Amino acid sequence: MYNSAMLSKELVAASSVPLVLSVLTEGENYGYALIQRVRELSSGQIEWTEGMLYPVLHWMEKEDLIESEWREAETGRKRKYYRLRKEGRKALQAEKQQWLTVHETLTKLWKQQPRLT
Partner 1 sequence: METTTAFDLNQSIQRWREHLALSPAFQRENLDELETHLRDSIASLQSRGLSEAEAFQIASQRLGGMEQLHAEFAKTNASTAWRQRAFWMLAGMLFWTVGADLISIAKSLGVYAGSWITTNGLLLGWVGGALHILTFAAVLVGFWRLASGQLGLPERGTRIFGQPKLFVVLALVGLLVLEAGSVLLFAFTFKRLNPIATGQRFAVEQWVAGIIPVLKGIAMIGGLVWLQRRKVGKTAGLHAVTLTMLALTMIAFSGSPALASDTTQKPTAGKPAAATMAEVMKLWREGKQSDAVDKFLAVDFSKRPLFPTGSVLNLTEAEFIELPSAARDKMSKAMFDDIQTIKLIARQVKELAKTPAKSAQCLSQLKAAGEAFDRPGGLALLKLVGQAFKKMAAAQP
Binding residues (CB under 8 A) for partner 1: these are 30-33, 49-52, 54-55, 58-59, 62, 77-80
Give 26 or 63: the residue with its C-beta nearer to partner 1. 63
How near is the Cβ of 59 to partner 1 at its closest, in Å? 5
How near is the Cβ of 43 to partner 1 at its closest, in Å? 17
Task: List the one residue out of 19, 87, 8, 28 whose CA is nearest residue 53.
Answer: 19
Give 61 or 99: the residue with its C-beta nearer to partner 1. 61
Q: If residue 72 lies in a helix (H) or strand (E), which one and from where to where? A: strand 66-72
How near is the Cβ of 115 to partner 1 at its closest, in Å? 38
Q: How far is CA 105 from CA 110, 115, 116, 117, in A?
A: 9, 16, 14, 16
Give 50 or 104: the residue with its C-beta nearer to partner 1. 50
Contact, 61 vs 17, CB < 8 A? no
What's the CA gap between 16 and 95, in Å, rounded?
11
How near is the Cβ of 109 to partner 1 at its closest, in Å? 34
